[in-house]
Structure 1
Amino acid sequence: MLNIHLTEKEFYGQLEINYKGLYTDSGNVTGIIKGDTLRGTYRYRHYGIETWHTIPIALLKKGHRLIMGEGETEIYMNMRYFRKNAPIDYQNPKFVFELSQ
């Protein structure tokens, strides 16, 4: 479930990923919007664990859908980022979110 607010240049909101009832990741997403791409961070807690995790997130807006992309990541200053100049794959997404009007 993705609940985000979009401005002209930024987005923020909540993301909850339920893995077929086995466990849930839930937390906040924030980032910037460039054209049809939303890039930012997902700060979440894994179900039952108190530690917070932060990973990069990329969403491609296609019609009334947001497609979550995957890409190579690297760690710099203890933060995980998408690897610079490496493509983000939107072709075989694990998650696709429908935008409500």
Structure 2
Amino acid sequence: MKILASCVVLILITLSLSCSHIAATDKSYRTYIAYAGRDTVMLHLSLVKKDFYGQYKVNGPGRYLVTGDINGIVYGDTLLGSLSYTPFGWKNKKRKAFALLKDGDTYQRGSGSETVYMGIPSFQKNTLTFGKEVFVLLPEEN
């Protein structure tokens, strides 16, 4: 019985060491910031292979604060997913479609007509646009 337990522990240690090397090479984390008028937008973004997740925060004048979590899938230079956030002054969370376009070291926020199918928000076909008029997320200097 002790030999079997020792073998199982040895196998688990070997697997965890080999998987941690793979995870370390396929993951990146960075903080981005944008200024839109009097609002400050901060995005903590983690990319793992073809997925992304992170935190999204908007600060504005007068204690205006909107915080939320983002997650989704990476398609080339486009990140498509959803934003689960708490609107200013609300108790309950809302969920909406979220899109970013990578342009060099920066990201541009996408906008378009949204639809919800089976509780999953997404952009309607051919309505998603990216423009610098919304805001551009720049990498934060360390």
Matched, 1:91 2:131: yes
Change in 2 beyond 3 A, CA 1:79/1:32: closer
Matched, 1:60 2:71: no
* Paired residues for 1:4-83 under 5 Å: 4-18=45-59, 20-22=60-62, 23-83=64-124
Query: Across the two proteins, how many residue pairs are aligned to each other?
Result: 99
TM-score with structure 1 length normalisation? 0.85
> Which range is displaced more, 70-79 or 59-68?
70-79
Radius of gyration: which is bigger?
2
Cα RMSD of the aligned pairs, angstroms, is 1.8
Q: What does the per-residue CA deviation read over 1:51-74, in whole Å, with 9 as the maximum and x for residues that have no partner?
A: 100000000000110100101112
**Structure 2 regions of 5+ residues with no counterpart?**
1-41
2: CA distance between counterparts of 1:93 and 1:76?
Answer: 29
Give the secondary structure class of the aligned counterpart of 1:69: strand
> Which range is displaced more, 45-54 or 60-69?
45-54
> Comparing both structures, which one devotes a greater share of its residues to helix?
2
1:68 and 1:93 in contact (8 A); partners too:
no
**Structure 1 regions of 5+ residues with no counterpart?**
none
2: CA distance between counterparts of 1:34 and 1:14?
Answer: 20
TM-score with structure 2 length normalisation? 0.63
Change in 2 beyond 3 A, CA 1:52/1:95: same
